[in-house]
Structure 1
Amino acid sequence: EFTARGHALLRAIREAAVPVIAVLDGLSLGGGSELALACDAIVATGRGSLGFPETGIGIYPGLGGTQNLPRRVGTGLARYLIYTGAVLGAEQAAELGLVDRLVALEELDEAIAEIARAGKPAGERRPTEPTGRWAEIARAFDVPADAILAGEVTSDDPEIARAYERVRTRKAPLALRKADALIGRALELPYDEGLRAELAGLEEIFRSHDALVGLRSVLDRSRPSFEGR
């Protein structure tokens, strides 16, 4: 019921007659980051951050994250962020197109007013094309979760190789596979249909052994051991 209400909020944001603007001025993880992604624009100060740690506790982003991330940054970087749970600072997020405006704290109110005056954006958002290092990461992670889990993809790049290893050893296989499937269809399906698919899988994932282990690990501050079931 909680996530169903969350999805209703996402639709309300999308259908609002005026622009809905998220402000990031501190740590944002999981649902908070997903809520920001659902907004028409994200304005951040240097203290802002975004991250999607769910696959590390046995679940996947269930408040629009699997649908809104690909629409902002493409499938490769969406997979990277959800597979690894990497936390991005505001400057990194702006480089990727996750943050629309990066401003000093004293400029925040004016930036919000300027975006509001411009009105609701027309049409669908198109993913920002990654460049430089981000393009390399996008290519490395635009692969099925199973290929990483099975060790079928490797890299001579130390940073990417370490990221693959973290995914294999620290993330929940079932959650990775579910997220992978949802991300893969995000740009093919109408937005509402993608949200329904995301919501439809949540009961199964929350009832899984990995989710129980992962969520329990948050309470007792232990490192979970996932079994892919």
Structure 2
Amino acid sequence: MYQTIHYEKQENIGIITIDRPEALNAINGAVIEDLEKAIAEVEQDGELGCLIVTGAGRSFVAGADIGVQQPFDLTAGRNWGRRGSALMRRIEKLEIPTIAAVNGFALGGGCELAMACDIILASEKAKFGQPEVTLGIPPGFSGTQRLPRRIGVAKAKELIFSGKVIKAEEAKDMGLVNAVFAPEELMNGALEMARSFAKNAPIAVKYSKACIDRGMQMDIDDGIALENEMFGMCYATEDQKEGMTAFLEKRSATFHNK
């Protein structure tokens, strides 16, 4: 079904692995098409509690394939940027939590893919950057929008204007990365975090994500009103009754996403 990625499930956790070793997993049309299909599969799977995105080999995603982009004219460049940005936005808008497990290079489109996820975990060998200006273009898959939202405007401008590539620890210090792991422990760390999300009441987790993501684009009063509404809506769910009853009965809750 897929040419450039692998998609698997471990219980209620989905794992997408980008596997295009001849190009360090660089994004081309086939990768975008495969990711679009995989995200459609994730969107339709009501059992999933978390999604992990990672790369095979020594790269997460080394960027978008320059050989593909070099001959573009204005129209082709615009369409390429729009398609890639639409994919990143679709990942960002998934209802379930998403984790980027960055095992190596996350440059250009790779950094943008990581930033489309809720959480970024990195191997000690990971490297991040938006080096597009060294190629005569700005970031094209929404990097100019997500990087400043992640690390602040001044630092984002510094990285984007310089095209500088940074190591995992520096990315963590900036707030781009949540945690750094030894290479052999990265996926274990990602799975442990994914399980910690997926064990909780699915509707409550989805609503929490929606409140944060939507609320950050509102003024605080509108954000609080959104939270109040979604907080109230949870009291119409079976999971709320189960969670609170289990707490009072001093037992573990069993949630059914209802």
Which residue is equivalent to 1:58?
Answer: 136
Indicate the structure (1 or 2) with the bigger Cα radius of gyration: 2
> Residue 3 of structure 1: which of 81, 89, 95 is its match?
81
Q: What is the aligned residue count?
A: 130
Which residue is equivalent to 1:98?
Answer: 176
CA contact (8 A) 2:101 2:187 kept: no
> Residue 189 of structure 2: which of 111, 116, 125 is its match?
111
**1:68 has 2:157 as partner:** no
- Give SS of 2:107's match: coil
Which residue is equivalent to 2:113?
Answer: 35
CA contact (8 A) 1:71 1:125 kept: no
CA deviation profile, 1:65-101 (whole Å, cap 9, x unmatched): 0111011110000000001111100111111111112
Q: CA 1:32–1:107 in 2, change beyond 3 Å: closer, same or farther?
A: same
CA deviation profile, 1:78-130 (whole Å, cap 9, x unmatched): 00000111110011111111111211123222321233232566303999xxx
CA contact (8 A) 1:72 1:126 kept: no
Which residue is equivalent to 1:140?
Answer: none
- Give SS of 2:213's match: coil
Which residue is equivalent to 2:98?
Answer: 20
CA distance in 1, matches of 2:190, 2:104: 17
- TM-score (structure 2 length as normaliser): 0.46
CA deviation profile, 1:41-75 (whole Å, cap 9, x unmatched): 11111110001111122210010101110111100
Q: Which has the higher strand share?
A: 2
**1:124 has 2:213 as partner:** yes
One-letter code aligned to 1:8: A
CA distance in 2, matches of 1:41, 1:13: 12
CA distance in 1, matches of 2:177, 2:214: 13
**1:82 has 2:160 as partner:** yes
Q: Which has the higher helix share?
A: 1
One-letter code aligned to 1:92: E
Q: CA 1:6–1:85 in 2, change beyond 3 Å: closer, same or farther?
A: same
CA distance in 2, matches of 1:98, 1:15: 19
CA distance in 2, matches of 1:31, 1:14: 14
Which residue is equivalent to 2:28?
Answer: none
Q: CA 1:26–1:109 in 2, change beyond 3 Å: closer, same or farther?
A: closer
One-letter code aligned to 2:114: A
Which residue is equivalent to 1:199?
Answer: none
Structure 1 unaligned regions, length at least 5: 128-186, 189-229
CA contact (8 A) 1:47 1:89 kept: yes
Percent identity, aligned pairs only, is: 43
Q: CA 1:72–1:126 in 2, change beyond 3 Å: closer, same or farther?
A: farther
CA deviation profile, 1:130-150 (whole Å, cap 9, x unmatched): xxxxxxxxxxxxxxxxxxxxx
Aligned CA-pair RMSD: 2.6
Q: CA 1:126–1:76 in 2, change beyond 3 Å: closer, same or farther?
A: farther
CA contact (8 A) 2:125 2:183 kept: no
One-letter code aligned to 1:95: D
CA distance in 1, matches of 2:120, 2:127: 11
CA distance in 2, matches of 1:14, 1:29: 18
- Give SS of 1:2's match: helix
Which residue is equivalent to 1:45?
Answer: 123
- TM-score (structure 1 length as normaliser): 0.51
